[in-house]
Amino acid sequence: MNGLQQKKKFNIRLIPLYVIYAAACTFFFVKLVNLQITGTDRYVKTMSLTHEREVVVQSLRGEIYDRNGAPLVTNEYTESLQLDYASVPRDTTEKNEALTSVISVLAKNGVEIETVMPVKGTYPHIEYDNEALKSTSVQNGMYRFLLYHNIKTGVSCLDLYEELLKEFKLLDEDGEHIYDTATEDALIRLLYSLDATNFAPGNPYPLMADADLKLTTAVLESGCKGVFIKKNYTRVYGYPGVGSNIIGRVGKIPENKMQDYLAKGYSYDAVVGLDGAEAAFEDILRGEDGITVYVEDDYGNVIETYVKKEAVPGKNVYLTIDIDLQAAAEKELEAQIKAIRRSALDSGVENSGEKADSGALTVVSVSTGQVLALASYPTYDLTTFSKDYAELSTNPAKPLFDRAVSGTYQPGSTFKIATAVAALMSRTITPDKTINDTGQYKFYPDYQPWCWLKSGHGPVDLVEAIGVSCNYYFYETGRLTGIDALNKYSKQLGLGEYTGIELPESKGVLAGPEYRESVGKRWYSGDTLAAAIGQSDNSFTPLQLSSYIATAINGGTRYKSTILLKTCNYSGGEEENNAPQVLGTVDIDEECLQTIKSGMKRSKEITSTTKGYKFSVGTKTGTAQTSQTNNNAVFVAFAPYDNPEIALSCVIENGASGINGAAPVLGTISYYYHLDKNGNPLKD
């Protein structure tokens, strides 16, 4: 009996334990349901405090090579420090603490953050930087900043600064400055720059463009909020100072083109081609940026990293340019311009070339339209462009202007080849037609121009007329041919027409009634005489002149001018060649072709500078009058004579006489065919 009573007593004692056990099971069951169904677990709360930050991974930009595979522009790996909008605290006080931390770490490593605030000095001794305010982008940034903060334009520099001390909460409750002068100044400049440059998601702020390993390590170890390291690839130039006008520059998207690029999927801080081949082949070189996602907690610690989109490198571009020939052409052109000026100054004779300071020289393939060289002088060096920009932009000789494709010049007597083609193919004259040059052309009573040789050349046929550049012969030929036929064939030869080159080019002007009417003026019969010898309104680019000579000499096929040889993927495979494109044809029969070539050969044989040149070429000089006292030197050529491969042109502004354009052209031909300065084969 006692045993049974003890057992019951024991069971009664277990009841509280059963209750506690049941309660615990119920609690954990409810908790499990809550976790799985309602999702309100603390873990989820913790996860909700994280955020994802997307960082654009810059794709490798395609590289640029010359026709022989010489590297013109390659990539070099760098790292930059940037501020990410999403990772910078929104609260003003917390933001200030985060940014001062960044400023402090960089300052300890000798780095001063570049900002755009146009202010000189430190508070209270400050003033606007009027030199910086000359920049349109700085002006726009300041307008954006003042509008954003509801500050009136025209505010004094001191008032602006004091307004910002309050706006950015840089004063304590007693009106005392929270930070030391240097830190405060750096912070205000940075805060101003963030707002002035539209700091926003997708538009990080660059703190430093090229950070070394020591600095990036210091930044990472400091745990600065908002700072991230972005991998970049900067352009490296294989031939500094050579072909700069062809290669072109890269840089940030111009403000006036931002919306266009954003619509194409570019990021705010994308690097794009600004001019030259970099801009012309932007779609080929660009590639596709990738995206890396950083998952961070509320303290800015990176919890996870993953690649959302792989970066795809751009394609490599091979230009038709022969960079060694380009260098030779630039050297020859510069040397001749300086020689002309030096000789004129030494002689003391006015208007003999003392003002010569610029020009262009172009070389094209006769059978494809490929451009082998485009020299423009003066030029610049892409590696020092930013440092030299102020000087380059104010230089009266305009080194940033590409004269080879954008400069337009009267062709002078080099146009007589077009007149000859038009006259022969319209059956106005025959190759053996003789005209007696008496000096002054008197067909029209009110306009009676002279031949350049006032005494006249006497009876000459077409070959001799081209050789001696007889104005009288071409006055008569031009009149008989008529401006309509003259313009018809000139257009077909490419004069006054775009060459099709991928670089920005001028169209030029073909003189005639059509152009005169477009500017509200009349065309007179006497104007045809001037047009026939390359005067009147005629104005063409040096590249057009080379293209036109190539078309005439190859028998009438006008090829599109191009600097694109081929493209291939970044690893060098999957090549895509740029086939020659025909823009049009000219009806030039064999008799006409041989007559033109013979005339240009005759010109070479009797011209003082070219007659001693041993290599067989065809040439034509042109002296284009630009004022009562100054002439441009114009010179065209093709080589070799029997089987033309290249056509060349040279224009020297204020070069005095067409013959002054011969030396750089012959020098370039000599380089291309491995000849000495006299046109003889070089000895091994």
95 near 224, Cβ under 8 Å?
A: no
The pLDDT, as a whole number, for residue 35 is 47
| Phi, psi dihedrals of residue 444, rounded to the nearest 5° | -95, 135
The pLDDT, as a whole number, for residue 243 is 98
The pLDDT, as a whole number, for residue 11 is 53
The rounded percent of the chain whose pLDDT value lies above 90 is 71
| Domain 323-672 class, CATH top level | alpha beta
SS3 314: coil
Please choose, from the candidates 270, 385, 277, the residue with its C-alpha nearest in 3D space to the C-alpha of residue 326. 277
The pLDDT, as a whole number, for residue 112 is 87
Q: At what angle do helices 542-553 and 590-606 cross, to 10 degrees?
A: 120
Please choose, from the candidates 300, 263, 317, 308, the residue with its C-alpha nearest in 3D space to the C-alpha of residue 66. 317
Beta strands 64-65 and 316-319 are: parallel
The pLDDT, as a whole number, for residue 677 is 95
Length of the chain: 684
The pLDDT, as a whole number, for residue 18 is 58
520 near 570, Cβ under 8 Å?
A: no
Q: Which segments in the chain show pLDDT lower than 50? A: 1-10, 35, 37-47
**Cα separation of 10 and 5, whole Å?**
9
The pLDDT, as a whole number, for residue 214 is 85
The pLDDT, as a whole number, for residue 79 is 84
**Cα separation of 212 and 125, whole Å?**
35
The rounded percent of the chain whose pLDDT value lies above 70 is 92
